[in-house]
Each structure stands twice: as structure tokens, then as C-alpha cells.
Amino acid sequence: MGREQDMDVIGIFGANGFIGRHLTRALVGRGLRVVCFGRHFPLDFESEFGNRADLRLIDFHNDMDVYRKLIGITHVVHLINSSNAAVGNEKVVADINSNVIPHVIFVKSCILSGVKSFTFLSSGGTVYGIPQKVPIDESHPTFPINSYGLNKLFSEHYLRMLSRNSGMGYNILRVANPYGPGQLGIGGQGLIGTIMQRYLQGQPVSIFGSGLHQRDYLYIDDTIDAIVRAVEREPLNDVVNIGSGVGVSILAVVDAVEAALGCKIAREHVPDRTTDAADNILDTSRAERLLGWKTVTPFADGVAKTVAWNLRHRAVASRGI
């Protein structure tokens, strides 16, 4: 890792989320020392990780609490965000208060407590806004058209500014649209999870506009591989796109889910959202060059695994297990 491994302690903020659970599983599976931070930990999380990682409750609005609980952490992965792009611009002020301000407090606390490496998951799907070209590389202008993307961009800039001339390096990973087992589509997060949620509830899937707009979808295992690679090396002090580099339309996503299910899904067309860019496909050549990373999971395979997990989860939930 470039440092003695027994001295490294990785703190995951947002460990109970979709990405956080997969990341925790991957890091403890590698025998690394992991501290999971969150506002709460459900019983299933405690059951899986309670004896394999240090679980710490934390109040992100209390800078002294954050500082005290960061002591001894050498690497931080910041996954927490209380909003998503589906909300649009309906809660702009609330987004700033609940995301940007705690982020600034958190970064400052990390620096003061001696954290050496800070990996921040930004949004490759929203920080660029309306693309001038595709695929989009990291030099593309950043003009977000929704509050989620703008808050992510502000958070990037604060991380850069505050880390400057400090002892803490950083990685900014602009991640595309991650999907996979564990993503339930709650609150509109994740198209594939949302499709499965609507299907299992017997409701039609909403198709925005023509359904031909393309997005970059990234299977969770590939997402985690990129994060682990960033954590296990010296900080890049740079921004890197993490995506598949392939565009898939909304209609094609629904088709892929239908193929995995072996049946048709009810659809309804609704107007486009004004806070969504038409297309978003990332150029990931920098990630391949700097991290030695690229996606390896074919989209159809990833969708099939995601659908199978959702069906098993539904069956387990219906039995009350």
C-alpha cells in the first residue's frame, strides 16, 4: 500500500449504504482494518460486520464528535449524501445545509485528526451538466443543472482547497451510475433498482421522454474495485472518471431487465425532467492510466445478477426472514 499495512485504518463514512456495504465487505475480506461510520446500523449490518469491523455512530453536524472519532484513521472514504438527482432542484437550500456544510466540517476534521488520504465519491453523471461532447473526459466544463450535481462539485472544490498545504491527500472519483445487488431503488436511486421495485409492486415503469437518452451504468463490483485501488495507493490529488464508457438508453435498460426476468414489464411514458442531461457517457482512460482500472462486467451479466438478487430479496422479505 506504500505504508505499513498494519498501520492503515480505513474509515468508511456511509458504510450502511448500497456502495458502503459492498466496500466494507471487500475491505474486510482483504484483511484490512476497517471502521464503519454511520448515523445508525441496522441489525443485519451489525450481524455481518460487527465482529469484522469497528462500528462507530457519528453526528456529522458535531465537529468535535467527528474529530474525536477520527483519531487513528489513516484513510477515509466518503460516501454519504442525503439527496439524489431524482429530486431535481426542489430542495436547494436543504441540500446545501445537509450536504455541503457537513462535508466542509468533515474535511477539516479529517485534516486536524491526521487522516492521510481522503477518497470522495463525486458524481460523473451530474457534475458535467449538458455535455458538449461524449464521451466526457475530466477536462470537460462543469456546469451542473441540478442541485445534487452542484453540491457534489462544491464538495470537490472544498476538498481541494482545504487539502492544499495540509498533510492529507485526496482522490476524487466521479462515478457514473452504479447498480447491482443491494440497490433497492428506494427514493428513485438507481434506475435498475427502481425498475425492479416497480415491477415487484405491480406498477408500470416510468419512461422519461422518448427513453432514448443514454447513461453510463457501472456494475457495483467494478465500482468497488476502483475505490479499493484508490485507497491502496498514494493519493492521486486529482479527479478521475469511473464508468463503463458505454452508453445505454433507458429503453435498453428496461429491455435488459425484461430479458433477465423472462417477461414483459409495464411501461408508461412521462415528460422529460428538466434537471436531467440528455446523455452522459464517461471517458475513463485516465482511470485506466492512473489506477490500472477498467470495468470488466458486461452490462447484461450485471443486470442478470441484479435481477436475481432482487427476486431472492423479495422472497426472503415475504417470508419475514
pLDDT, block means (10 residues), the chain with 321 residues:
63 94 97 93 95 90 85 95 69 87 92 96 96 96 94 97 96 97 80 91 92 95 98 97 97 97 94 86 98 97 96 69 48
CATH number, residue 25:
3.40.50.720
Q: How far apart are CA 31 and CA 6, in angstroms?
A: 10
H or E element that contains 196 = helix 191-200
Q: Give the whole-angstrom CA distance, residue 321 versus residue 318.
A: 8
Domain that holds residue 187: 5-318
**∠ at Cα 250 (193, 146), nearest 5°?**
80
Q: Which cell is 288 given?
A: 485506466
* Cα 224 → chain centroid: 9
pLDDT for position 231: 96
Number of structural domains the chain divides into: 1
Amino acid 66: pLDDT? 87
C-alpha to C-alpha distances, 166 to 112, 157, 280, nearest whole angstrom: 9, 15, 34
The pLDDT value recorded for residue 188 is 67
Q: What is the pTM of this model?
A: 0.93
> What pLDDT is attached to residue 3?
43
